[in-house]
Amino acid sequence: MKVLRTAFLLTALTLALIVVGDAFGGLNGMKIALGFAVLLNAVAYFFSDKIALMSSGAKPVSREQLPRLYEVMERLAGKANLPVPKLYLVPEAAPNAFATGRNPRHASVAVTQGLLQLMNDDELEGVIAHELSHVRNYDILISSIAATLAGAITYAARMGFWASIFGYGGGRDNERQGGGLSAILMIILAPIAAMMLQLGISRQREYAADESGAQMVGQQFGLISALQKLGAYNQRIPSNIPQTTSALCIVKPNFGGGSVWSSLFSTHPPLEDRIAALREMTISHPG
C-alpha cells in the first residue's frame, strides 16, 4: 500500500509538471524546466552523500573503534542480503542516524554519539534496520526523482512569472486561462503544491522504512522504543546537523522553536503516528 501511495504522489507530481509547463511555456517550456531540474538534481544525486556526511561533521569509524555498531550492521546487512555500508560517527549528543548513498553499493550510514550512548541493543538494531531499509528501498533515488519533478514545476512557474512580466506568451492555452489572475495564482500555488507532494513522498518513505525495518529484525518493539527515546531526547537536545541533511535523519532534529507550520511542512510524519502504525503491523515470519 505504501508503495502505491508513493507511486500515486510521483504520478501527481508528473501531472502537475505537465499542466504547469504547458500553461506557461508549452512543450518547450516544460522541457527547459525539466532539463534544469535534471541537471541540478543529478549533481545532488551523485554527491549528496559526501555533502551530507561532510556538513554533519561525520567521521568514518573502524570495527576496532565501534565493534558494537559493526556487529549489528553486519548481521542485519547479511540478513537483508546487502553490502555492509560505510559507517560514520557524528560527534554530537542529540541521538539520531541517517543513511545516504545512491545505491546499496555506495551507501553510508551515520549515527550520532548520543544515539550509541542512549540505545540498548534492541533499540540500536531497530534504528539500523530502518536505515538499511532506506538503502534497500532505493529511497535516495526516489527522493531524487521527486526533487527533480518538484524542481521542474518550480522552474516552470518562475519562467511563467518572468514571461508574464516581459509580456511573452506562455503556453498555447494562455488566452483561455482567464487572464493574469489565474496565471498569478498558478505561479504562487504550483511550487507550494509541488513541495507538499514532495513532502508527502518523504513521509511515505519513512513509514515504509519503519515497516520493512521491523520485518528485517523480526519484531517492531525495539524500533518503537527507539522512536520514543529519539522523540523525548531530541525535544531537549538541540542538534548541529544542518537542515539540508535533516530530511535523511530517522527523526527530525531539534533546531529550536517549532510551530504548526513547521510540522505541516515537515519531511517526517508525526512520531506518534509512526509508533501507532508499528504497533498495528503484523510481522511475517518465514517458514
* Interacting residues of 51 by C-beta distance below 8 A, sequence separation 6+: 44, 244
Q: At what angle do helices 2-55 and 139-166 cross, to 10 degrees?
A: 90
Contact by Cβ (8 Å): 211, 223: no
Asked if 131 is an active-site residue, the reply is yes
Q: Which residue(s) pair with 52 in the sheet?
A: none
Residue showing cell 516544460: 30
Give the CB-side neighbour count of residue 273, counting CA atoms within 13 A: 10
Distance CA 13, CA 134 (A): 21
Q: Which of 131, 175, 211, 272 is catalytic?
A: 131
Question: Which among 284, 102, 54 is positioned nearest to 85, based on CA atoms?
Answer: 102
3-class state of residue 204 by DSSP: helix
Positions marked active-site? 131
